[in-house]
Chain A
C-alpha cells in the first residue's frame, strides 16, 4: 500500500535524505526512530506530499504521490501533528468533523461518527464542545487523532504525537493508541525519538541517522545484532532509572 522508491531530499547543500527505498507493511505499525535531525520527520512529510522529494517516488495505493494527486490522496491518509494542530476557531467537534462536513456528510452522520471516535479515543463527551485552548494537552492530542481517523483512512501518519505531553498523560495515551491501532488493524507510520515508545508501539522499527537507514527490524534485533556501533550507542543512551540500588 505504501512504497518508497529511491527517495532523496536536499535542503540547500545538506542532504537530509540519502536515496532510500522501503515498503511499509499493511496493518502493522512501523516506527521511524532516530535522533533529532536524522530526517525522520522530513521522510514523513515526503510521504504526505508536504515536501516534494528531489528524486524517487512515493506509491500510495499504487498511485504516485505528486502535487496533482496529493490533494485527493491525503483524504485517505490521517496525519497527526505533534501539538495536535487543532484550529483554534473550531470546537473539538468542529475540528474532528471539518473535512467530513466539507465533503457533504449529513450532520447526524458526522455527529455519530465523532461520538464513536470520542469513545474510541476515550475523550469525555463534554469536551466535544470546547475550544482547543480550553482543553488539556492530552485532550487536544486525542482530538487530533479523532480528526485523523474521521474518514477511516488507509494510512495513519503520526509525527511525534506524544512529544509535548507530560509522562503520565503520555503513558495513558500510548496505551490507548496501541489499543486503537490493534483494534482497527491500521497501517501506521509513526515518528519518535523515544526508544521505549518505539518498542511499545512498533511492530517494525527503522532507525535513521543523518538521512540514512542504519537498521530495520525489531528492537530485539537491534540489541542482539546491531548493524553499526551507532545502534548500540543509541540504545544505551536511553537512561533507565535504577530504582533498586538506593532502597
Chain B
C-alpha cells in the first residue's frame, strides 16, 4: 500500500470539507458595506435604544445591523470614532467626565464642538437622566438606618461591589470616595453580577443607574446623593457626522426620539425587558409605535429563537474554524522552526507563551485600533490564542523523538526535508493533532467573548442572559457551545484515526 498517496488524498478531502465550510460561511456573511451599523453599551437601556435606532433606520429603508451590548464606554465609543459603528446612545455625564475629560467642557455647545472635532455628531437630549446612584437592599438599609451616602461612612464593615467601569471612573467611585471620605476598598465586577451579589449577601452596596429596572426587582433603596456629587447623565444619540451628508433621512428620523422619554418611561421600558422578559426589539418597537407612531411589526419570538441559534452557530463556527485554520498554517511551521533552530525556538516559545497570558478581553481591546470591531479582530485574537498549543506540541513532538530513531533517520542518508516529511512529522503527528484539538476546544469557549466586540456567536445569548438575569437565555448560548466543544472533540478523534499512522495508534492503545 502506498502510504504517501493515501495521506495526500485524505489531506485533499479534509481541505475540501474545510473549504466548503469556510466559503459557505463567508459568503453567507453577505455584503454589509451599505448597511448601517448600530452599537450599544452592555446595558439593557443601551440595547433598547440600539434596537430603536436600528428599527428607525430599517423603517427609513436601510439595511441595519445592531451589534448589541458590545461592552463598556471605551469599546463602544472607540468603535464609533474609528467608523466600525455608525451610532449608539450615550450620556452627557459620560461624555464630559470620561470621553472628553481632558477638554474641560463647560456647556452643551462646547460638547458639540469637541465631538465635531472627532467627526462625531450628537442629537438633543432624549429626556431621561440616568445618573449614577448607590443602592442597598431595603431591609438592610432600614436596619442600619442608612438613607444617604454620607450615612455609609458610619459603617466601614459593609462590602462594596461596583461595576468595573464605575469603580475606575473619576465621576464614579474615585471622586465619590474623596467627596464622602469613604474608607472601603470595593470589589470590581459585572454590573448584573453585582445585583446577584447583593441578593446573596456577598456585598451590601453597589452602584446603580437611576433608570435600572432592577431597583424595583431587587427591592433596593437608592441612597440620597446628599452632597450632589453625581453629574447629570442625560441620554443622547452619538453618530458619525458624515451621516448628516450621506444619510440625512436617518439622522432626521433618529432626532424624532428627542425629548420623548422621561425617567419614568425609561424605567418602564427597562422593566418590560428585565422583569417581563420581553425582547428588547419588541419593547423598542412598541415604544416607537406608542410614542412616535412609527409602526413596525416585531418578529415573533419563537421564530427568532431558531434563527438566532442558527445565526449564532454560523458566527461561532466561522470564528472557530477560520482562526484555527490560520493558526495551523502558521503554528506548524513555527513549531518546526523552533525544533530545528534551538535559539530561535526559545524566542518563539517565549513570545507565544507570554501572548497566552494576556487576558482575552485585553487582546480584544488592543485589536480595535488595528482592525476595528466585529469579526476580524475576534478572529485575530482567537488565532493568537490557538498558536501556543499547536506550536508547543509540534515542537515537543519533534524534539521528543528518541535519539536512536533520530540516528536511524540520519544514517539513511535522507536530506533534511525528506527526513522531516517521511519520518519526523509522521512520528510527531499524534502530538501535533493533540495540540490542534486542544486549540479547537479552547477556541470554542474563548469565542464566546467575541460578542464583546460585536463578532456574534454563542456569547450573544450568554451575555444578554447575564444582563437580563435570564437563565434560559444563558443556556441558549452555553448549551450549544458545550455541544460544539464535544462535537469538535469527536471530529478530531475521527481525524486522528485518519492521519495518525496506524503503527503509532496501535502502540498507544494496548
Q: Residues of A with Cβ closer than 8 Å to B?
A: 48, 50, 70-75, 77, 79, 81-83, 85-91, 94, 98-99, 102, 107, 131-134, 147
- In Å, the complex CA distance between A75 and B426 comes to 22
Contact in complex: A50, B422 (CB < 8 Å): no
Contacting pair B426 A85 (CB below 8 A): no
Question: A11 to chain B: closest CB distance in Å?
Answer: 15
Q: Are B503 and A91 in contact, with the CB atoms below 8 A? A: yes
The complex places the Cα of A83 from the Cα of B408 at a distance, in Å, of 10
The answer on a CB contact under 8 Å between B413 and A74 is: yes
Residues on B with beta carbons closer than 8 Å to the beta carbon of A87: 405, 408-409, 423, 427, 503
Residue B410, interface by CB 8 Å? yes
**Does the CB pair B504–A50 fall under 8 Å?**
no
Closest to B427 in A: A89
Query: When chains A and B are docked, how far (Å) is the Cα of A102 from the Cα of B4?
Result: 11
Report whether over half of chain B's contact residues are helix, strand or loop; otherwise say mixed. Answer: helix
- Given A71-B415, A98-B422, the answer on whether A88 and B408 have CB atoms closer than 8 Å is no
Known: A133-B507, A134-B506. A90 touches B415 (CB 8 A): no
Contact of B413 among A83, A86, A99, A131 (CB under 8 A): A99
Q: Nearest Cβ in chain B — how far from A109, in angstroms?
A: 14
CB nearest to A99 among chain B residues: B412
Q: Would you give the shortest CB distance from B12 to chain A, in whole angstroms?
A: 21
Q: Does B3 contact A (CB under 8 A)?
A: yes
Interface residues of B (CB under 8 A from A): 2-3, 404-405, 407-415, 418, 422-423, 426-427, 501-504, 506-507
Besides A86-B408, A87-B405, A131-B506, 13 other A-B contacts (C-beta < 8 A): A50-B411, A70-B413, A71-B413, A72-B413, A81-B411, A82-B404, A89-B501, A89-B504, A94-B3, A98-B422, A99-B413, A131-B503, A132-B503
CB distance from B430 to the nearest CB of A (A): 10
Residues of A near B412 (CB, < 8 A) are 74, 79, 98-99, 147
A131 touches B414 (CB 8 A): no
Once bound together, how far apart are the Cα atoms of A164 and B318, in whole Å?
54
Known contacts A85-B404, A91-B503, A133-B503; A74/B418 CB under 8 A? no
Min CB gap A100→B, angstroms = 11
Shortest beta-carbon distance from A187 to chain B in Å: 17
CB distance from A75 to the nearest CB of B (A): 4
From residue A115, how far is it (CB to closest CB) to chain B in Å?
A: 15
Kindly name the residue among A72, A82, A88, A98 whose own CB sees the greatest number of chain B CB atoms within 10 A.
A88
> Measured between alpha carbons, how far is A133 from B410 in the docked complex, in Å?
21
Give CA–CA (A77, B410) in the complex, Å.
12
In the complex, the answer to whether B503 meets A79 with C-beta atoms within 8 Å is no
Residue pair B506, A102 in contact (C-beta under 8 Å): no
Closest 6 CB pairs of A and B: A85-B408, A74-B413, A89-B501, A131-B503, A79-B411, A75-B413
Residue of B nearest to A151 (CB): B413
Measured in the bound complex, the distance between the Cα atoms of B406 and A81 in whole Å is: 12
Residues of B within 8 A of A86 (CB): 408
Q: Could you tell me the distance in whole angstroms from the C-beta of A153 to the nearest C-beta in chain B? A: 10
Minimum distance in angstroms from B56 CB to a CB of chain A: 63
- For residue B421, which residue of chain A has the nearest CB? A102
B3 close to A133 (CB less than 8 A) = no
User: A107's closest neighbor in chain B, by CB?
Assistant: B2
* Chain A residue contacts of B404, Cβ below 8 A: 81-83, 85
Contact B418 A102 (CB under 8 A): yes
Rounded to whole angstroms, the CA-CA distance of A72 and B426 in the bound complex is 24
Report the separation of the CA atoms of residues A77 and B423 in the bound assembly, to the nearest whole angstrom.
19
Inter-subunit contact A88/B507 (CB<8 Å): yes
Known: A50-B411, A99-B412. A89 touches B426 (CB 8 A): yes
Closest CB of chain A to B47's CB: distance in Å?
55
CA distance A71 to B408 in the complex (A): 13
How far in angstroms is the closest Cβ of chain A from B202?
55
Q: Which residues of B contact A94 (CB under 8 A)?
A: 3
Q: Which residues of A contact B410 (CB under 8 A)?
A: 50
Residues of chain B within 8 A of A73, CB atoms compared? 413
CB-CB under 8 A from A81, the residues of chain B are: 404, 407-408, 411
Contact B427 A133 (CB under 8 A): no
